[in-house]
Amino acid sequence: MQKELEELQPQLVVSQEENAKMMVVIEKESVEVEATSKVVRADEAVANEQAAEAQALKDECEAELAEAIPALEAALAALDTLKVSGYVDYVPCYCICLTNFLFEYGIHAV
């Protein structure tokens, strides 16, 4: 058995050298991984903050939309009650007023 151990001694030395080289590589990679992890954590924090801001904006928009939809529906319902025949006499006056308004603000209709 002693003889076998002596025969395996060179292989053991080679294995130790390979292990030492691997440990150097692992330590170097560990430092790189830690640096990358810090960057990723910082990016994640920024992304989470932006996501929270976006969610707050979405919630605000949805709340405003919830208020506006009933007003829109009421306006559409009111429009449905109008009869065109009752306003035909006012169309020329409306066209003149609209033209004056557009001219006043420099909007030229084609």
Instruction: Give, for all 110 residues of the chain, the pLDDT tens digit.
Output: 777 877 878 888 888 999 999 999 999 999 999 999 999 999 999 999 999 999 999 999 999 989 889 888 888 888 777 766 656 566 666 677 777 777 776 666 54
> pTM for the full model?
0.48
In a domain, 88, yes or no: no
In a domain, 100, yes or no: no
pLDDT at 33: 93
| 21-31: b (≥16 Cβ within 10 Å) or e | eeeeeeeeeee
In a domain, 69, yes or no: yes
In a domain, 109, yes or no: no
In a domain, 108, yes or no: no
Query: How distant is the alpha carbon of residue 57 from its chain centre?
Result: 12
Count: domains in the chain: 1
In a domain, 91, yes or no: no
In a domain, 104, yes or no: no
> In which domain, by residue range, is 23 found?
2-82
**CA distances in angstroms from 29 to 18, 19, 23, 43, 48, listed in the order given:** 16, 15, 10, 21, 28
Whose structure tokens read 């609209």? 98
In a domain, 52, yes or no: yes
**CA distances in angstroms from 84 to 87, 90, 97, 103, listed in the order given:** 6, 10, 19, 27
